[in-house]
Amino acid sequence: MGGYFISVDTMHGCAKRTLELCREAGITMTGAGATFPYGKDPNDSNIRIAPSLPPVAELEQAIAVFCICLRLAALEKLGVCGLLLDIDNTLTTHDNPVPAAGVEAWVAGMQAAGISLCLVSNNHPPRVEPFAKRLGLDFVCEGKKPLTKGYREAVQKMGLSRKEVAAVGDQIFTDVLGANLFGVPCIFVFPMEMEKTRFFRFKRRMEIPFLPKKIYEENKELN
């Protein structure tokens, strides 16, 4: 019976550290650079995943831990110890009061690793406060992104400097642009679902030329 494996490319310089974090969490994986001659990956970025027929539940748990370790290694590489998180279509679907599947576990994993988290949303208090309370996170509402007001307030609440934080969001002209204006990295995530209103659909169409080619090709229907 033949085997199979999945090849994952991390940020350069993060493969070995990712596997170290996995090992500390109790997950043993193939050594970094296994797909390269003599195991020497010049970029320290490639990880080969070769599951050995574990039960599905165990595999899902292991992959969840691996993803957290991968993100932590990347954050360490960037010198980031705090994240400014958008809500709608980043942590849940638009106006949904319940975090998406896996978000609460992800938040717990980040906090256990010492990563500070703060919600920064353009939405109003009745939307933001209950969601933040459910996750046990501090928050800034009516952040007015892409203006830097919300990010500035969040950094002050966290007691961190700009060099120590990164933003996370799904909109180019609010989250990404706001982070750029504030002078911090932004981790762009693809929206969980496409909004139905004309205003949001127009914004999404305007974003397409700024997206990676793969995402652009997958969303030509928005043109």
54 pLDDT above the threshold of 80: no
pLDDT tens, position by position, 161-170: 999 999 999 8
Specify whether domain 6-75 bears CATH 3.90.1150.10. Answer: yes
The Cα-based distances of 218 to 152, 200, 221 in angstroms read 34, 18, 8
pTM exceeding the 0.85 threshold for the entire prediction: no
pLDDT tens, position by position, 132-188: 999 999 999 999 999 999 999 999 999 999 999 999 998 898 999 999 999 999 988
Check if 6-75 and 80-192 are the same fold: no
223 pLDDT above the threshold of 80: no
pLDDT value of position 166: 95
Domain boundaries defined on the chain = 6-75, 80-192
The token pair at 200 is 């949001």
CATH of 80-192, one of 3.40.50.2300, 3.40.50.1000, 3.40.30.10, 3.30.70.100: 3.40.50.1000
